């Protein structure tokens, strides 16, 4: 059995504002939904995210903020995405760094305090 890529659910105070940040600052595409309906879908490449508001999440009990990881294919991609997000004035928490656990990573946040850890696992690199 092969699992598909997961689709994280990102809590937001207002879906329309959150989606605008993901689209205009982080380079995602708005796919569907709105704050009135309580849920929206956004994507970038093979990465899909759902953004949900408080009324949508109430019956499920999931609250934020959350942290999710984006696994890129190289150190260069991590650095390139960091440069793109920094130029777009994304909320950067930490700059790219090679960690002792052999991940190159940086951390950003969205308007609602959800954390996005962007990384590349270089354990197999020679």
Alpha carbon distance 91, 113 (integer Å)? 10
Distance CA 119, CA 104 (A): 5
107 — pLDDT class (breaks 50, 70, 90): very high
Q: What angle do CA 73, 75, 80 make, to 5 degrees?
A: 90
Reported as a pLDDT band with limits 50, 70 and 90, residue 49 is very high
pLDDT in tens, 12-23: 999 999 999 999
How far apart are the C-alpha atoms of 123 and 13, rounded to whole Å?
Answer: 38
Please, what is the average pLDDT of the chain?
Answer: 95
- Going along the chain from its start, the domains and CATH numbers come out as 9-121 (3.10.180.10)
61-97 pLDDT per residue, tens:
778 899 999 999 999 999 999 999 999 999 999 999 9
- Looking at residue 22, the DSSP 8-state letter turns out to be H
In the predicted structure, residue 5 carries a pLDDT above the cut 90: no
pLDDT value of position 59: 82
Extract the tokens encoding 57: 């999440």
Q: Tokens representing 99?
A: 């960690």
Whole-structure pTM value: 0.93
């Amino acid at each position: 059995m092969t699992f598909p890529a997961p689709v994280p659910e990102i809590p937001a105070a207002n879906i329309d504002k959150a989606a605008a940040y993901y689209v205009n600052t982080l380079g995602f595409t708005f796919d569907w939904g709105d704050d009135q309906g309580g849920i929206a879908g956004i994507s970038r490449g093979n990465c899909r995210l759902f953004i949900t508001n408080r009324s949508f999440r109430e019956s499920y009990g999931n609250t934020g903020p959350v942290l999710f990881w984006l696994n890129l294919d190289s150190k260069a991609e991590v650095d390139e995405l960091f440069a793109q997000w920094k130029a777009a004035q994304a909320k950067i928490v930490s700059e790219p760094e090679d960690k002792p656990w052999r991940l190159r990573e940086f951390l950003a946040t969205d308007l609602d305090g959800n954390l996005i850890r962007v990384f590349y696992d270089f354990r197999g690199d020679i």
